Amino acid sequence: MRCGKMAAAAPSAPAAGAAGGWGGVRRRCQRLLYWVPVLFISSILCWSYYAYVTQLCLLVCLVAYHIFFMLFVWSYWKTIFTLPMNPSKEFHLSYSDKESLEREPRGESQQEVLRRAAKDLPIYTRTMSGAIRYCDRCHLVKPDRCHHCSVCDKCILKMDHHCPWVNNCVGFSNYKFFLLFLAYSLLYCLFIAATDLQYFIKFWTNGLPDTQAKFHIMFLFFAAAMFSVSLSSLFGYHCWLVSKNKSTLEVFRAPIFHHRTDKNGFSLGFSKNLRQVFGDEKKYWLLPVFSSLGDGCSFPTCLVNQDPEQASTPGGLNSTCKNENHLFPAKPLRDSQSHLLTDTHSWSDIGAKAEKGKVGMSNPALTMENET
């Protein structure tokens, strides 16, 4: 009987192996399909180079054209091949915390484990129910503005969206590159459309000789004009996001700070919002070189953020920073972010003195200038 059972179980092994093999083939095919949009954009770019340089051949404009072309390719390359940043080790649960989380039933007991694990982490956002944001796939406490990407199957720092046109997640590590890619691709298309317009008009008035170049001139103008329209709207939208210090995901679901939703919780004013993405050194702003401020795990905020265990703040402080002075979190921000807030006009002596008298607050209060 024992041998019979083993013999009966034997044929199932190849079936399981075959299923696993087909699953691996399917995953590889999916990964290849993800590159189709990138190959499409690359082929259009190569053809436009051929059509403009060899067929249109405007010698006076070739220098400016190649500048736009190189900046476009450089920023596009950096957006595609810059790996998204994931949360650091301190946000991952320890082995003992994982075991405790698995033993505890879902609910308040699990939240107690997560609160204990997150007590020294610089996190201030919560779920809609006020719970600690936890990723059960990556087994980590999510930093602020971090989200799990279902395509990459990873938690991405300051995730904006997963872009099929670059086959990559757009987040903290490459958001500046993505913005420059949109800007330079828009300039590239506008430049081609502007310089090709006179020849396009001649095409319709039969002013061009009947050569192979006629097709390239006509289609080049159509392609440049079409992409200019779509890119201008997309670029304008992301410029607005930068000015408000928001991500695409935060537009659809505003961040929640200790049971309170605030769509402008991370906005520090236009100039500081711009510096968070492009950095302090203006000479790097227009180059696809990483210069964003911070580490992607913690961000300055214009709200009062306290731990649930701490005493509640007086009324009126737990609102957005517009037209009010506010206190910074009791937990210190990381050094890479702190210098965003060190302008001499940003500190209030009144707020600092008032904070010293508060019970349960270990740090002196820092007040920020009103948002402009």
- CB 309 within 8 Å of CB 330: no
Active site residue 163: yes
Q: How many residues does the chain have?
A: 372
Largest Cα separation within the chain, whole Å, is 92
- CB 281 within 8 Å of CB 330: no
Is residue 102 helix, strand or coil?
helix
Active-site pick, 138, 163, 189, 321: 163
**CA–CA dist 160, 249 (Å, integer):** 6
Specify which residues 147 forms β-bridges with: 156
**CA–CA dist 202, 187 (Å, integer):** 24
Query: Over the Cα atoms of the chain, what is R_g?
Result: 27
Query: CA angle, 184 as apex, 178 and 186 as ends, to 5°?
Result: 100
Residue with tokens 């800007």: 183
Residues serving a catalytic function are 163
